């Protein structure tokens, strides 16, 4: 391949998969990894991709903290569809944990009113959404209020979680990176989410396709700690295969 053909090939792969690795490109284009890195640098200088260690993505993968009322305006229909699928995983009389975020808020709003559940959550907007569930017992975690996410974080919330054993955790994240795992923009929120994962039998991540290939400041867990991911149909087959190879059950809605 000449340089123009390689650049077109790289951009086509990025468009279809949302992610490319230096090693895979080297093999598929039959060139050295040094050549691939030079190609990626040229394309990055033109603003056509973002390089990271050993790979590239179409846009910068780093996510900054945004207020919950701003996040609610993004990917609205996808979040509703994800929420409806997640509701189908609930069982009568089980104890669950719901994290914070706009996708799990949509999930909380979609839970049938007649379902009998015990629900622990640190998200105050989730607790408010659950007030109409007449058969549900709601446990609101206490701690330091994080206003941007309408949730509580910190030692007191983590201590409460450690006193319970629940069947499922429904969690949203700010980023899902193939190598770094699950992340969120606040390190205290990340630590609380890690504690939640350790206290449940099954972790279910609710994340629209825009969260993939992204990473934020606080690491929550590795992908191997996740049992199920529910996303939308725009998620690339590259990521679906990657997740399934790690033993994660993937639902696209």
**pLDDT tens digit sequence for 149-186:** 889 999 999 999 999 999 999 999 999 988 889 999 89
Q: How confident is the model at residue 105 (pLDDT cuts 50, 70, 90)?
A: very high
Question: What CATH architecture does domain 3-57 belong to?
Answer: Orthogonal Bundle (1.10)
> Are the C-beta atoms of residues 219 and 180 closer than 8 Å to each other?
yes
> Are the C-beta atoms of residues 130 and 138 closer than 8 Å to each other?
yes
CB atoms within 10 A of CB 93: 9
Class of domain 68-252: alpha beta
The answer to which of 15-24, 64-73, 122-131, 201-210 has the lowest mean pLDDT is 64-73
Of 203, 179, 181, 180, the closest CA to residue 99 belongs to 203
- Mean pLDDT calculated for residue range 73-96: 92
pLDDT digits (tens, 9 = 90+) for 27-62: 999 999 999 999 999 988 888 888 877 888 776 666
Of 90, 9, 73, 55, the closest CA to residue 210 belongs to 73
pLDDT for 67: 60
Residue 118: its H or E element:
strand 118-121
Domain range list for the chain? 3-57, 68-252
| pLDDT of 231 higher than 60 | yes
> Are the C-beta atoms of residues 81 and 253 closer than 8 Å to each other?
yes
- Mean pLDDT calculated for residue range 199-226: 94
> Are the C-beta atoms of residues 136 and 172 closer than 8 Å to each other?
no
- How far is residue 108's CA from residue 105's CA, in Å, rounded to a whole number? 5
Instruction: Tell me the pTM.
Output: 0.78
Measured CA to CA in angstroms, residue 21 lies from 42, 67, 150, 179, 251 at distances of: 16, 33, 37, 11, 25
- Mean pLDDT calculated for residue range 222-235: 96
User: Is there a shared CATH topology between the 3-57 domain and the 68-252 domain?
Assistant: no
| DSSP letter (8 states) at residue 130 | T
């Amino acid at each position: 391949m000449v340089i123009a053909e390689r650049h077109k090939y790289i951009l086509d792969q990025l468009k279809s998969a949302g992610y490319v690795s230096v090693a895979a490109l080297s093999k598929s284009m039959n060139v050295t990894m040094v050549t691939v890195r030079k190609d990626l640098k040229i394309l990055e200088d033109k603003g056509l991709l973002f390089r990271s260690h050993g790979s590239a993505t179409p846009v910068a993968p780093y996510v900054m903290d945004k207020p919950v009322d701003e996040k609610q305006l993004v990917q609205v229909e996808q979040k509703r569809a994800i929420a409806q699928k997640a509701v189908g995983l609930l069982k009568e009389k089980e104890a669950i944990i719901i994290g914070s975020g706009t996708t799990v808020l949509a999930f909380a709003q979609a839970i049938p009113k007649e379902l009998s559940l015990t629900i622990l959550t640190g998200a105050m907007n989730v607790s408010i959404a659950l007030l109409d569930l007449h058969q549900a017992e709601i446990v609101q975690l206490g701690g330091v209020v994080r206003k941007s996410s309408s949730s509580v974080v910190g030692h007191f919330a983590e201590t409460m979680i450690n006193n319970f054993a629940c069947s499922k955790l429904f969690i949203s994240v700010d980023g899902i990176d193939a190598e770094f795992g699950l992340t969120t923009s606040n390190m205290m929120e990340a630590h609380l989410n890690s504690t939640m994962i350790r206290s449940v039998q099954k972790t279910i991540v609710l994340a629209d396709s825009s969260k993939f290939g992204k990473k934020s400041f606080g690491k929550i867990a590795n992908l191997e700690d996740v049992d199920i991911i529910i996303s939308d149909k725009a998620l690339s087959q590259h990521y679906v295969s990657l997740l399934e190879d790690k033993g994660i059950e993937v639902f696209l809605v």
